[in-house]
């Protein structure tokens, strides 16, 4: 073997030894990994508000689509959109020139019928007096029976003429009242207190069967949500519902469940639920999309931890895992979870009050790793 080869082998062995020594110094004399910085929280008991998470949309509880009751030319429009109106406030008026003429004719016909009735009553009085006179003359033999019979016939005919005149007067009065009612309907009014949400007419338009106005009362809203049928057993009429909407951030609103559909939707096996929402002042609007929670109950002294503490979580099976800090080590532990309330999860089994659970940094850990708690918050 040449001297050059021997010197190369010696140099390789020295280099390997130097590398091994430097690696040992880097890992430390004990060979342990450095402690991992984590955040943790001490487990305590809290009151648990149970509920069903829902999404839905708002709609006015009371609103009206206003149309004209009969076709006509729109003569005037009194309101614009977004104007607040009271029940009975005029919104628009139809052209009434033709109706005015018909009403005057009807009024004249009524007066004529009244005069006709008076004339018939006069004729009846005359016929009665004549019959009474002929009756007395017949008793002394001054008139024949034929004369008396003719007077009786005339008296009956006068009574019939009165009945006919009364019928004519009633018909004329009914027609007159009908025309008055029709004329009053020429002024289109608001059927409720609210705001004109839509105006779909201008002066000169012909009102047929189209929608003219929409008046909305936003003081009371309906929130329509759907609840999975498997959770419908816990939802009852009268339960509170809290919700928020992206349109009004950082604010929570409340309502009350007023209706639960007795039928299940066959498409998605859900149940429609409606909650009544007071809206004073009128911040909320119909059509807003909201996220909320129906509060179904409350339990005291329940162990809960933040969702961030769960490193695995099978929601359907209600199984999860966390890291519990014992001394300066993290130990992986399995849990049985329960109800969920916002960002808190109920711990049915696996933890007890006072345990310290890693809430941040757990995904960098392995079972038995050393940890350094940089922030420990109370439960």
Confidence of residue 379 (pLDDT cuts 50, 70, 90): low
Residue 14 pLDDT > 50, yes or no? no
What 3-state class would DSSP assign to 38? Answer: strand
Residue 19 pLDDT > 60, yes or no? no
Q: Which domains does the chain have, with CATH numbers?
A: 36-48+300-377 (2.40.420.20), 53-61+219-297 (2.40.30.170), 68-95+186-211 (2.40.50.100), 99-183 (1.10.287)
Please report the pLDDT score of residue 7 as a whole number.
53
Contacts of 171 (CB under 8 A, 6+ apart): 113
Residue 90: which of 72, 66, 73, 71 has the closest Cα? 66
Confidence of residue 32 (pLDDT cuts 50, 70, 90): low
* Range 15-20 average pLDDT: 46
Weakest-pLDDT range from 20-29, 94-103, 155-164, 336-345:
20-29
Cα 214–chain centre separation: 17
State percent of the chain over pLDDT 90. 60
Please report the pLDDT score of residue 105 as a whole number.
93
* Range 194-206 average pLDDT: 94
Please report the pLDDT score of residue 28 as a whole number.
43
Weakest-pLDDT range from 3-12, 46-55, 198-207:
3-12
Confidence of residue 2 (pLDDT cuts 50, 70, 90): low
Confidence of residue 239 (pLDDT cuts 50, 70, 90): very high
* Range 180-203 average pLDDT: 94
Residue 233 pLDDT > 80, yes or no? yes
Q: Which of 45-54, 73-82, 138-147 has the highest mean pLDDT?
A: 73-82
Weakest-pLDDT range from 66-75, 230-239, 283-292, 362-371:
362-371
Residue 25 pLDDT > 50, yes or no? no
- CA-to-CA distance for 56 and 30, rounded, in angstroms? 59
Please report the pLDDT score of residue 54 as a whole number.
94
Please report the pLDDT score of residue 5 as a whole number.
52
What 3-state class would DSSP assign to 256? Answer: strand
End-to-end CA distance of the chain: 74
Residue 266 pLDDT > 90, yes or no? no
- CA-to-CA distance for 79 and 215, rounded, in angstroms? 11
* Range 354-378 average pLDDT: 83
Please report the pLDDT score of residue 119 as a whole number.
92
Please report the pLDDT score of residue 364 as a whole number.
80
Please report the pLDDT score of residue 27 as a whole number.
44
How many beta carbons lie within 10 A of that of residue 87, not counting itself? 13
Instruction: Return the DSSP state at 118.
Output: H
- CA-to-CA distance for 346 and 299, rounded, in angstroms? 11
Residue 23 pLDDT > 50, yes or no? no
- CA-to-CA distance for 223 and 56, rounded, in angstroms? 7
Q: Mean pLDDT over all residues of the chain? A: 87
Please report the pLDDT score of residue 26 as a whole number.
41
Residue 16 pLDDT > 70, yes or no? no
Please report the pLDDT score of residue 139 as a whole number.
85
Please report the pLDDT score of residue 378 as a whole number.
57
- CA-to-CA distance for 119 and 365, rounded, in angstroms? 113
């Amino acid at each position: 073997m040449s001297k050059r080869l021997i010197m190369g082998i010696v140099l390789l062995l020295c280099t390997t030894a130097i590398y091994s020594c430097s690696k040992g110094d880097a890992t430390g004399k004990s060979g342990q990994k450095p402690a991992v910085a984590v955040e943790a929280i001490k487990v305590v008991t809290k009151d648990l508000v149970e509920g069903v998470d829902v999404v839905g949309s708002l709609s006015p509880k009371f609103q009206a689509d206003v149309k004209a009751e009969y076709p006509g030319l729109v003569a005037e429009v009194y309101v614009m959109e977004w104007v607040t109106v009271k029940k009975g406030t005029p919104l628009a008026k139809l052209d009434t020139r033709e109706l005015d003429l018909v009403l005057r004719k009807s009024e004249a016909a009524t007066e004529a019928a009244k005069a006709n009735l008076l004339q018939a009553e006069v004729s009846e009085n005359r016929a009665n007096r004549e019959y009474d006179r002929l009756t007395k003359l017949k008793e002394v033999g001054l008139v024949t029976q034929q004369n008396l019979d003719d007077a009786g016939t005339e008296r009956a005919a006068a009574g019939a003429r009165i009945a006919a005149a009364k019928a004519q007067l009633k018909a004329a009065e009914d027609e007159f009242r009908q025309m008055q009612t029709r004329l009053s309907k020429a002024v289109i009014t608001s059927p409720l207190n609210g705001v004109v949400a839509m105006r779909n007419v201008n002066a000169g338009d012909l009102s047929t069967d189209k929608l003219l106005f929409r008046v909305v009362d936003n003081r009371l809203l309906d929130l329509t949500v759907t609840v999975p049928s498997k959770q419908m057993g816990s939802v009852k009429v009268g339960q509170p519902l809290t919700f928020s909407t992206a349109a009004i951030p950082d604010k929570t609103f409340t309502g009350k469940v007023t209706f639960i559909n007795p039928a299940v939707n066959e498409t998605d096996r859900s149940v429609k639920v409606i909650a009544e929402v007071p809206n004073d002042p009128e911040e909320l609007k119909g059509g807003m999309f909201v996220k909320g929670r129906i509060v179904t109950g409350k339990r005291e002294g329940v162990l809960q931890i933040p969702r961030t503490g769960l490193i695995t979580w099978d929601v359907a099976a209600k199984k999860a895992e966390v890291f519990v800090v014992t001394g300066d080590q993290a130990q992986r532990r399995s849990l049985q979870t329960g109800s969920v309330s916002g960002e808190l999860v109920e711990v049915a089994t696996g933890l007890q009050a006072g345990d310290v659970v890693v809430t941040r940094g757990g995904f960098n850990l392995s079972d038995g790793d050393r940890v350094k708690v940089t922030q420990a918050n109370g439960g």
